[in-house]
Amino acid sequence: MDLLTTIMICSMYHNNNIVNAIIQNGTGHEQSPLAIGIVKQVGLPAEIKTNFNSNQEASDYAKAALAQGSHAEIGKMQIPSGWLNNLSQYGVSIDDLLYPCKNVAVATDLLNQSEAYCATFTPEGNERDLCTLSFYKTGDPKSGLDYAHKILDYAVANPLATAVPGAMGPHTPPNPAVDYNSVMAESGLVLPQPVFKEEDSEVNDGKSSS
């Protein structure tokens, strides 16, 4: 699938301009489902590698980096490795995140849950969007604000509805004609619901889960 189709079918988030912005500013190339970013310190830019010959090669590279104590950002939406422990409880692995639709589905589910957390202490609008993106990136509402501003600036400057005629608007809900459960079932992925839990003390303390 091309990028727009992938976003339209697989995204679970209400603002696909932000989804597109994360992809465009994460991998540096919209068609890099095997992108692996290595982060020496949470919140800093990743060193991204995309020239893998197979999913297995990309997966092995990410796992080796994690074993050495680095942080990894995985796949099309550069899902931070801080989420992996929570995701593993629902059977979602690094290997799953190297498939574009699975990656977008999981990442946007994490965005929804990050936004739900931020909604408990931020007003709706720009402040909540910034908190959501920071939390998605770093596991903390404030540590990733530089990243969050970059993503929002790109989303505003490059709206999908303007760039591609007929594209989903910024607050268009998932296409009701698409059976998302079937899409996910066919891809072998069960979405984690929920990853964020209120009893997770690390999250409630605003600390990174990385």
pLDDT in tens, the chain (210 residues): 788 888 989 999 999 999 999 999 865 555 578 999 998 766 667 788 988 999 999 999 999 999 999 999 999 999 999 999 989 888 899 999 999 999 999 999 999 999 999 999 999 999 999 999 999 999 999 999 999 999 999 999 999 865 544 444 444 444 433 444 444 444 444 444 444 444 433 333 443 333
The answer to whether position 26 is within a domain reads: yes
- What is the pLDDT, as a whole number, of residue 3? 86
Residue 207 lies in a domain: no
Contacts of 112 by beta carbon, 8 Å cutoff, 6+ apart: 12, 13, 14
Per the domain annotation, does 161 fall within a domain?
Answer: yes
Is residue 170 assigned to a domain?
no
The domain in which residue 81 lies consists of 3-165+178-196
In a domain, 35, yes or no: yes
Total domains in the fold of the chain = 1
Side by side, the strands of the sheet bearing 36-39 are 47-49, 36-39, 71-74, 79-80
On whether the CB atoms of residues 55 and 63 are closer than 8 A, the answer is no
DSSP annotation of 176 reads: T
Please report whether residue 76 resides in a domain: yes
pLDDT at 27: 54
* Dihedral over alpha carbons 48, 136, 81, 58 (to 10 degrees): -40
For residue 33, cis peptide bond before it (omega within 30 degrees of 0): no
Q: What is the pTM of this model?
A: 0.77
Residue 134 belongs to a domain: yes
pLDDT, residue 30, reads 54
> Per the domain annotation, does 172 fall within a domain?
no
